[in-house]
Amino acid sequence: MPAIPSFHAIAALCLTVVTLGLFASGRIRIELVCLGVIVVLALGFYLFPFENAGHYTGMEVAFGGFGHEALVAICSLMILGRGLVVTGALEPAASLLARIWRYSRWIGMACSILVCGILSMFINDTPVLVLALPILLSLAVKAGIPASKTLMPVNCAILIGGMGTTIGTSTNLLVTSIAADLGVAPFGVFDFTDLALIAGAVAFPYLLFVMPRLLPLRTAEENEAPRRYSAAIHLGKVPEERGTLAAIRKIASTIEISGVSRRGIGSGRSEDSAIVQEGDWLFAHGTAERLQEAAQALGATLADPDLLREITAAAEQSAEDQRLAHLVVGSDSMLVGQSIKRARIADRYGVAILGASRSTQGLGTVSSPVAEQLDVGDVLLARGTPTRLKNFELGEGVHILDGAQELPRTAKAPWAILIVVAVVVLAATKTLPIAVAALAGTVAMLAVGCIRFENLGRGLSIEVIVLVAASIALGRALVETGGSDWLGALFAAGLHTAPPAAVLASLMLFSAVLTNFVSNAAAAAVGTPLAVSLATQLGIAAEPLVLAVLFGCNLCYVTPMAYQTNLLIMGAARYEFKDFVRAGLPLALLMITTLAFLLVRRYGL
């Protein structure tokens, strides 16, 4: 047994145990726990000064996390990820996945696992899941593919992909940064990608064939059917192969097209042989999402193109984002008894009405939706700037439902992709440190307008910021006081006769347990100093032990509280705690075994 540690080391170890317990209990918000850790460290080192290397380091340890380059890199990467989302740069990948799923369930599942796993190597895991979630839930409703059979395998693929690069998750950056502070050679962006890819290949058959069989046949309950709108799709240039209504219906198969009319004049023709020309209006019915997808596939718009261009120009001039809002017609609204056309909403408010959901009238007619009279309870799908939508709401007695959806600035999507690729290349080639490259990328996105400065905070998570800052402080406290050395000696005493693979597997298992019941950042803060100290105690290289911690921190498949994406799919697919254990535990054990073997082979242990 190692000797009894110093007073400061005992205090740091006790604080670590209490912090892990509070994280695991969930009774106090994580942000408050993290801030409490920083306060306790600051007060403790102030009242009981700690001298190291000839100077007092207590305050530097307590507050050093806020100025650490890992936090700068993590915040910058979160903003870069939001830039990809708000510009719609990831939408082509989502549309492609949706088409593949409709063609073949198994090919769609395999492609979803691969695409989402690859994307999560460069983008934070949560945005990738948010991108895939609507597709999988929509398939559950339309194609009868249970969400409970698809969400967890795709989520696990995202988590596996996230551990493939140093920028895949904030936890990876935290582990590698703490290790670098402790003297371990810095890891490049792709230094361990091959290990993660091999382990992912081993796990792929399990995710595709085995895990769905272990999951229940359960889908999320729908409180009500998705709201359907009547809309007029304004056609642009129509290729010859799309010259009939039958051809148009085949392309836009996800919506109902009741007829076609010359610029909305009179009633439309509904027969398949009806000729379709440039400038025609298609009378269509479907959800807001499906109508937008169909219009995009047809190269058309849901409102007059000139009006949409004017709204876009106004948004740029006023530095506002465009919004898509659902507005219900109130009992005192001046719109009751009027049609959208007669109300001249576009002329008076500069707002485009993309569709109308009738409260009393059924769908399926071939009359122009803009010519039909509105009634109390009708819902309008409107597009405009926040200011214009608010003026419309106040001026006409309508009320916004479910908030308003921010529309992507698609014109900036190429810039967003180019900036993210440049950041990855600069960091991967070690031309710039990841913190510098990511921060420069953030400034570039602001400069070209991918992200607006006033919306910058939406890309940041306060919980992540304080969690990372507190984890860095706690990890440094363990190192500076000698607490990590004492833990390393304790592990070494129990593992000194064990083979290297067992040492790596034990450390990975230790980190995995912490990450599934406490948090990824806490597992990184405790496990990384322990790995470095254990390497010194056993006389082996620190790199494989640090990677064992990094991989272990990403094995968050076994409990719903292990990672925020787990909580998202839990609600969406109505998973229970036992579902995560049943399907996630075998995957975690498979990954631990595979990765331990790969690390032994890589480092010749």
Query: Which of 2-6, 69-73, 197-201, 580-584 has the weakest average pLDDT?
Result: 2-6
Q: Check whether 18 has a pLDDT greater than 70.
A: yes
CB 293 within 8 A of CB 254: yes
Query: In the beta sheet, which residues pair with residue 380?
Result: 327, 356
CB 458 within 8 A of CB 81: no
Residue 552 has what pLDDT?
94
Query: Taking residues 545-569, what's their average pLDDT?
Result: 87
Confidence of residue 264 (pLDDT cuts 50, 70, 90): low
* φ, ψ (nearest 5 deg) of residue 234: -90, 115
Q: Check whether 221 has a pLDDT greater than 50.
A: no
What domains are there in the chain, each with its CATH number? Answer: 236-297 (no CATH), 323-406 (3.30.70.1450)
Residue 159 has what pLDDT?
94
Residue 294 has what pLDDT?
86
Confidence of residue 363 (pLDDT cuts 50, 70, 90): very low
Confidence of residue 222 (pLDDT cuts 50, 70, 90): very low
* CA 22/CA 446 separation, integer angstroms: 38
Q: Check whether 403 has a pLDDT greater than 70.
A: no
* CA 319/CA 453 separation, integer angstroms: 10
Q: Is the dihedral of CA 439, 442, 448, 452 positive or negative?
A: negative
Give 54-89 pLDDT, tens digit per residue.
Answer: 566 677 888 887 878 878 887 887 788 778 777 877
The DSSP string of 43-106 is: HHHHHS--EETTEE-HHHHHHGGGG-HHHHHHHHHHHHHHHHHHTTTTHHHHHHHHHHHHH-HH
pTM for this prediction: 0.70
* CA 546/CA 535 separation, integer angstroms: 9
**Judging by DSSP bridges, how do beta strands 281-287 and 323-329 pair with one another?**
unpaired
**Judging by DSSP bridges, how do beta strands 379-384 and 256-261 pair with one another?**
unpaired
